[in-house]
Amino acid sequence: MADDTEHAQGTAGFLLEMGMLKRAKRSGWWIAGVKDPESIAEHSFRVGIVGSVLAMMEGADPAKVALMCLFHDTQETRVGDIPHIGRRYLTAASNESVTADQVSAAHPAVTAGVKRVVEEYENGTSLEVLCAHDADKLECLIQAVEYRDQGNENVQNWIDTSRANLKTASAQALAEAALTMPSIQWQQTYLR
């Protein structure tokens, strides 16, 4: 019974820690001059949606891709969202290592499952992994387009870098489409 209580507390602790992602901002956008950037959780949510869509378009498993996308930045509760330029000066623990610490007291099935998802995202080569990585980059590009539409011209580097790193044909096509339309155009679909 003590193990059940400890595992429940360890798992609940992990879930409480994940709440930090709702409050932690994506710090790279501050470099671009965005005063109130999206949170890590907001980013991860849309990465999951984008990943699912890419998986559907590419013939991969959308649920598996969404799961990887959901967990791809959970380590940032412990190491923060280090902007790309900051990575030149810092040596951070691997995401696998951070994840192992985060779930070390959780239920054994949770520990094994979360570690497996992060390990695959970080080291896998499957179509699902490719879609998950593209989803992260495509979401960044889409967010940059939205910030640009709000008047922030300093985001062009995020657009260019994200676009250049997309691997799947579907992600490249969606990026091209997003770059040729205003970010509010989605509502026009319903006004016809």
How many angstroms from the chain centroid is the CA of residue 123?
16
Q: Does the pLDDT value for residue 1 go beyond 80?
A: no
- pLDDT per position as a tens digit, 23-53: 999 999 998 999 999 999 999 999 999 999 9
Q: Could you read off the pLDDT of 141-173 as tens digits, one per residue? A: 999 999 999 999 899 999 999 999 999 999 999
Considering the four listed CATH numbers 1.10.3720.10, 2.30.30.40, 1.10.3210.10, 2.40.50.140, the one that applies to the domain covering 2-190 is 1.10.3210.10
Confidence at 187, pLDDT banded by 50, 70, 90: confident
Inter-helix orientation angle 62-71/127-149, to 10°: 60
- Whether 159 contacts 142, CB under 8 Å: no
Residues 78-108 have pLDDT tens digits of 998 888 788 888 887 999 999 999 999 999 9
Per-residue pLDDT at 47: 98
pLDDT of 2 above 90: no
> How far apart are the C-alpha atoms of 86 and 182, rounded to whole Å?
31
Across the range 44-67, mean pLDDT stands at 98
| pLDDT above 70: residue 109 | yes
**Alpha-carbon distances of 164 from 110, 138, 139, rounded to whole Å:** 36, 10, 14
Whether residue 71 contacts residue 114, with contact meaning beta carbons closer than 8 Å, is answered with: yes
Read off the pLDDT of each residue in 120-125 and give the average, rounded to a whole number: 98
Q: Does residue 192 have a pLDDT over 80?
A: no
Query: What ranges do the domains of the chain cover?
Result: 2-190
